[in-house]
Chain A
């Protein structure tokens, strides 16, 4: 373990200014949606205060993936037509694009690859939730999918210098990449992601998805199903090469996740075979 690297990462985490930022509206909407006493009108007003993001949100509302056919020209209409959960997802897409849509050096991801990966994992997570009769959490699975690897945006710089050591440890100790990240640098991209979400004031369920997406069995019992969904979606996207970087497939496909969701071999292969469709849908959001 490199104590100086661990210390440098700790400094970044302690100094919130050095972690990536997103528009405030995202956390406000995430909180308001969960509060049954908040009227839709109040949420629409909150979003509309941020003009730049409102323009992006309306574009997304009318994109192939989210559109219900009718042209949407205001946030009020969007909530009525698409529903509040869908609009909340769209807010998160619009708010996180800038942070995620960039080159991620240490993991060898070209510009846009991590963004495409997050959106593909989001779309596939939603599909898995619907397939396994968990429609009520499909929207949260979608949000979690978008941001699950956000920690990579910060850890990448350190991975760049320690990549060889990490990979060597993966092979000699037969541990997955994220575990080796932690051994070498004191942190893995999941923990850093959790810290970023703390800064963004995102709810516990999303923090849990980000924190445990490579080891769902470590997630608190109440979040195990949703963490499992994002874990499986992430695995399938990586296998299809979507957002696969220098860490490759040096990850574990969790049996706990498969059993938790009750996925059969046939269903898993079918979901993997659906990847061209998933990518097609995702391209409507990019």
Chain B
């Protein structure tokens, strides 16, 4: 049986095959990173793009991603074999354009991509934006990501 780990808001989870990491996303972004050779992987559930230095590195894209990568390397992953998938970053259906909270989802996606690029980790798949909530399951047996949104399921296999 696969163990299921629920990753909460501004938390991080890492494990190896055949564990499944699950999280529920609105405007937050779920960053799934996988080593296809070692079959170890991890997920970060970030709430906001940039860390103001408040001692909660898991909460922000720019600090959570390096932390997750370091954690995976410590768990035996090889940085060369790491690849990423992204999900989440939805926005409210309607909001006044002057309300910056409305752009948080997009900013989360942008920053996550930027930090992954800086870290030389390719983003192979993403299911982001729009107005849907997403339940994502990240299967560490083969690195696939299942996204359930608005009553429909999609699978992303590239690793």
Q: Which residues of A contact B (CB under 8 A)?
A: 108, 163-164, 167, 170, 174, 176-177, 235, 238-242, 244-246, 248-253, 255, 258, 265, 268-269, 272-273, 275-276, 279
Contact = CB atoms under 8 A, between A and B. Distances in A.
Given A248-B131, A275-B10, 7 more contacts: A238-B26, A242-B24, A249-B91, A249-B92, A249-B93, A251-B93, A252-B93
B148 to A, nearest CB: 8
B104 A252 contact: no
Given A248-B149, A248-B150, A250-B131, A241 B25 contact: yes
A248 B90 contact: yes
Contacts of A251: 92-94
A265 B150 contact: no
B49 to A, nearest CB: 11
Contacts of B133: 238, 241, 244-246, 248-249
B59 A273 contact: yes
A13 B21 CA distance: 41
Nearest to A283: B8
Nearest to B132: A248
B99 interface: yes
B96 A255 contact: yes
A242 B23 CA distance: 11
A63 B100 CA distance: 36
Interface in B108-150: 131-133, 148-150
A258 B93 contact: no
B27 A240 contact: yes
Contacts of B101: 239, 253, 265, 268-269, 272
B10 A276 contact: yes
B99 A268 contact: yes
Contacts, number: 112
Contacts of A246: 133, 150-151
Contacts of A163: 151
A166 to B, nearest CB: 10
B77 interface: no
B72 interface: no
A57 B94 CA distance: 39
Given A252-B93, A269-B100, A279 B8 contact: yes
Contacts of A177: 93
A242 to B, nearest CB: 7
A36 to B, nearest CB: 40
Nearest to A278: B9
Given A249-B133, A269-B101, A272-B47, A240 B92 contact: no
A177 B92 CA distance: 11
A253 B8 CA distance: 24
Given A240-B9, A244-B26, A276 B99 contact: no
Interface in B9-31: 9-10, 23-28
